[in-house]
């Protein structure tokens, strides 16, 4: 969706640029390692993908902490979907802001954030979403912020969203 919206996307791998097997056995091939991607900071947006094991790995990675802190300090977009908002919590990002996540993480996040059950929650430069079924809405919201409303509408219509 982001690429359809004309957004340049860099998919960075925590453990180099080897293929990553996600929580539902989907295989993603990073464009580059996170270490290499860090040379391009700050980005217009840093978006954390969902999935329990991946979110846990993001939450435990000190490079992700620095990346997110730098993004936040620069006033750039930070996105997180599904379980990934738990990584925001682990790295003290956006505390006090409105956010949403996969329902199973509500209790974990509610004391540090204003938790909502919106499909997509936008609070300033932080954009969060609930899970696989809200991913298109999440991506379209990112296109609105990174490109414009008209582009988001065009791709939404073309994708029958």
Token pair listed for 150 = 């008209």
Q: Are 130 and 101 in contact (CB under 8 A)?
A: yes
Q: What is the pTM of this model?
A: 0.96
Average pLDDT over residues 145-154: 98
Asked if pLDDT for residue 84 goes beyond 80, the answer is yes
In whole angstroms, what separates CA 9 from the centre of its chain?
Answer: 12
Asked if pLDDT for residue 22 goes beyond 90, the answer is no
pLDDT band at 40 (very low <50, low <70, confident <90, very high): confident
- Please give the Cα distance from 138 to 104 (Å, whole number): 19
Q: What is the dihedral of CA 25, 28, 33, 38, to 10 degrees?
A: -110
Helix (H) or strand (E) holding 122: strand 120-123
Phi, psi of 29 (to 5 degrees): -110, 110
Which residues neighbour 151 within 8 Å (Cβ) at sequence distance 6 or greater? 5, 6, 143, 144
pLDDT band at 97 (very low <50, low <70, confident <90, very high): very high
């Amino acid at each position: 969706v982001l690429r359809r919206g004309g957004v340049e996307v860099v998919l960075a791998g925590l453990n180099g640029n080897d293929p990553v097997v996600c929580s539902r056995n989907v295989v993603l091939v990073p464009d580059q390692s996170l270490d290499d991607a860090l040379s391009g900071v700050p980005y217009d947006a840093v978006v954390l993908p969902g999935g329990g094991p991946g979110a846990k790995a993001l939450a435990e990675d000190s490079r992700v902490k620095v990346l997110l802190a730098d993004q936040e300090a620069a006033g750039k977009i930070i996105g997180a979907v599904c379980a990934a908002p738990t990584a925001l919590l682990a790295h003290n990002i956006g505390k006090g802001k409105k956010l949403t996540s996969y329902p199973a993480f509500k209790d974990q996040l509610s004391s540090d954030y204003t938790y909502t059950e919106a499909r997509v929650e936008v609070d300033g430069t932080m954009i969060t979403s609930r899970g696989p079924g809200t991913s298109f809405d999440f991506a379209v919201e990112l296109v609105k912020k990174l490109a414009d409303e008209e582009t988001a509408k065009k791709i939404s219509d073309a994708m029958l969203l």
